[in-house]
Amino acid sequence: MKKKDLRSGYTTGACAAAAAKAAVMLLFSAEERKRESVKGVEIPFPDGSRVKFKIHKSDVLTQNSQHTARASVIKDAGDDPDVTHGAEIAAEARLQVAGIRAQESEKIRIVITGGKGVGIVTKPGLPIPIGEPAINPVPRRMIKDAVMEIVEAKNVRTCGLMNVHAIEITISVPDGQELAKKTLNHRLGIVGGISILGTTGSVKPVSTEAWTATIASSMDVAKAMGHKVIVVSAGRSSEKAHMKKFQLPEEAYILMGDHLEYTLKEALQHGFNKIYLCAQWAKMVKIAMATPQTHVKFGAIDVKKAAGFLNSLGSGIPDDTVFNTAREIFDMINTGPHDLTADTFRAVCNAAKQYAEEMSGGIAVTAYLVSYEGEIIAASE
């Protein structure tokens, strides 16, 4: 059977740009005393392509002769398991009017702010200054480019809007605060909601881009906070085990998932001088066996080779023993003589340390093996 191709989707930044363009279209329609509806808009992407978005909701509020237009888009992340898939990304548009008439040649500014559900940056190291809404540079540019298409098409100055100096765009995500709880935003110092992200406008399904971007951003924050030591973990259980025992500052913890090689090379680029590497048994054995990418899609652990590797470390596993999983190997070793168990676990950590230091450019690494119960049970020497 032919494998089904995974469907690509769109970033929160692209959705915000589409909502903003629709809102501005409605705003100018209201200024011209028209009541037009907007069912869809087409916006430019950074690569020069154009994509059409369906508008979910739109309306215009008029108060004291001032119009506020609102439009929203439902984010479609394609087949990517994104926590923001299906989220409503909304934009409000209003004119900033001053008593002084603008020169006909004066360009209208686009002012972008964050509303409900968009986080605020509270820590250094991110591409957005502290105190600003977490709307990244490329989404900001996409919003401005999309809105300016309407401004230029309407030729605002010749429409009699000579007192308009700027258009204020407010991006909001109604469920953003709840969605943020499923992300690492709090660790990055983004509070109150999600980030408006994206570098291309598109989301490739099950890609590494989101993971590696988060790893790099986490390291940016750790460095900006003055940390020289970081903890990289394969998963939350491993991370929590280290937090429980050593209680380093939250910003020092980096979830690497399966991206070992990328994480270690990124750590070198950031100038850290010590790495604590935490993983449970199957991932630690893979690392010890010099596996740069530990995700199962790159190959499940070969238990026969793993058993042979562990015997080369002195584990004493009988040659005729057949295993189905790495967990079965762990259980056999863990129920053996205490000294042999401790020596084997330590030897695995030492091998993982050696391989990690080769990839980290010589940054000192200490490897910690975490049990299936979430406790550190061994460390490299």
Q: What is the CATH number of the domain that holds 91?
A: 3.30.2110.10
Q: Is the pLDDT of residue 205 over 50?
A: yes
Question: How confident is the model over 107-136, as a mean pLDDT?
Answer: 95
Q: What is the pTM of this model?
A: 0.81
Task: Point out the domain boundary residue: 203, 220, 244.
Answer: 203
3 belongs to a structural domain:
no
The phi, psi pair for 73, rounded to 5°, reads -130, 140
Give the domain-ending residue among 203, 232, 265. Answer: 203
| Same structural domain, 186 and 221 | no
Q: Which of 12-26, 87-101, 134-148 has the lowest mean pLDDT?
A: 87-101
Q: Report the domain count for the chain.
A: 2
pLDDT in tens, 305-357: 888 899 999 888 887 788 888 899 999 998 888 888 999 999 999 999 999 99
Residue 238: per-residue pLDDT = 95
Residue 300 is predicted with a pLDDT of 60
Q: Are residues 220 and 260 in the same domain?
A: yes
pLDDT at 298: 47
Question: 186 with 250, same domain?
Answer: no
Q: Does residue 121 belong to any structural domain of this protein?
A: yes
* Whole-number pLDDT of residue 156: 61
Residue 370 placed within a domain: yes
Tell me, yes or no, whether 181 lies in a domain: yes
DSSP assignment string, 220-283: HHHHHTT--EEEEESSHHHHHHHHHHH---GGGEEE-TT-HHHHHHHHHHHT-SEEEEEEEHHH
Residues 212 and 308: their CA atoms lie apart, in Å, by 33
**pLDDT value of position 318:** 84
Question: Could you give the CA distance from residue 53 to residue 40 in angstroms, rounded to a whole number?
Answer: 5
Asked if residue 129 has pLDDT above 50, the reply is: yes
pLDDT at 3: 47
Indicate whether 2 belongs to any domain. Answer: no
Q: Would 338 be classed as within a structural domain?
A: yes
Q: Is residue 53 part of a domain?
A: yes
The residues, ordered by sequence, that sit 6+ positions from 307 with a Cβ below 8 Å of its Cβ are: 317, 321, 323, 329
Residues 364, 325 share a domain = yes
Domain that holds residue 51: 9-203
167 with 236, same domain: the answer is no
Percent pLDDT > 70 in the chain is 91
Q: Are residues 141 and 157 in the same domain?
A: yes
Are 172 and 219 in the same domain? no
Overall average pLDDT of the 195-204 stretch: 90
So what's the pLDDT on residue 2?
44
pLDDT band at 155 (very low <50, low <70, confident <90, very high): low
Structure tokens at 375: 């406790």
Same structural domain for residues 184 and 221?
Answer: no
Among 188-202, 203-217, 304-318, the least confident range: 203-217
Whether 104 has a pLDDT exceeding 70, the answer reads no
pLDDT at position 346 is 96
Domain match, 167 and 128 both: yes
Same domain, 246 and 353: yes
Going by C-alpha positions, the residue among 273, 174, 295, 151 that lies closest to residue 222 is 273
pLDDT of 48 = 94
Averaged pLDDT of the chain: 89
Given 145, 180, 203, which residue is the final one in a domain?
A: 203
Q: Are residues 229 and 368 in the same domain?
A: yes
Is residue 198 domain-shared with residue 243, that is, in the same domain? no
